[in-house]
Amino acid sequence: MGVPDKIKLLISALIKYIFGVALVALMLFLPAGDFVYPNAWLFMALLFVPMLILGTWLYVTNPALLASRLKSKEQRKEQKHVVALSGIIFISVFVLCGLDYRYDWSKVPRWLVCVASVLLLVGYVMYAEVMRENAYLSRTIEVQEGQKLIATGMYAVVRHPMYSATILMYLAIPLVLGSLWALLLMSFYPFVIVKRIQNEEQLLALELSGYNEYQKRVKYKIIPGIW
């Protein structure tokens, strides 16, 4: 990747990062009714500080992967529906967390908030390890030119470790934000992931060399011993 391309990538990444911070803040603080909401500040620190570190690491070590991760427009019709449903769930969860804080609908013990915060960071570490292991990790479902099958590291345990990390992180989010009602809503998200995986595996079996044999060797998709 040339210098002009890296500069464009840096600008694009910074714009998306700043937009993400502003959007999450808006979805949390506006329903909450003020900027005092301590769990929201905790969550934003846990989310955006590691994100900045990971993004910087990718920019320095693997800018092509960073560019792939910034690409979010799905081409497949089934996945467009999945992405849309995911977006609805996330917006609803953040807004519900803000309202829960504002009207004091539920109480999450401080110790559980701490546990959830640790789990969120553990999910981030898993996410970073998957990125280190798999240089073809796109946000969209596709098989890239020259893509090779990855069957080492966490990929030797489950076929979709990125989704394992994602589910762990996302289920921790409502608890970090202090809302049991939002946790109930977020519990629907794993079912969305199941739909995404089913469609993704169909594509990989057709277009990625060796994937059918890999499915036979690694039995579980996201949770060892369960599914």
pLDDT digits (tens, 9 = 90+) for 28-81: 999 999 999 999 999 999 999 999 998 888 888 888 777 777 766 655 666 677
178: left (phi over 0), alpha (psi -120 to 50) or beta: left
Place of tokens 């981030």: 124
Tens digit of pLDDT for each residue in 110-153?
Answer: 999 999 999 999 998 998 888 878 766 665 555 555 667 788 88
Residue 97 and residue 28 in contact, taking contact as beta carbons nearer than 8 Å:
yes
**Rounded to an integer, what distance in angstroms lies between the CA atom of residue 99 and that of residue 110?**
19
pTM value? Answer: 0.87
- At CA 96, angle to CA 27 and CA 22, rounded to 5? 10
Delimit the domains of the chain by residue range: 3-70+96-137+146-217
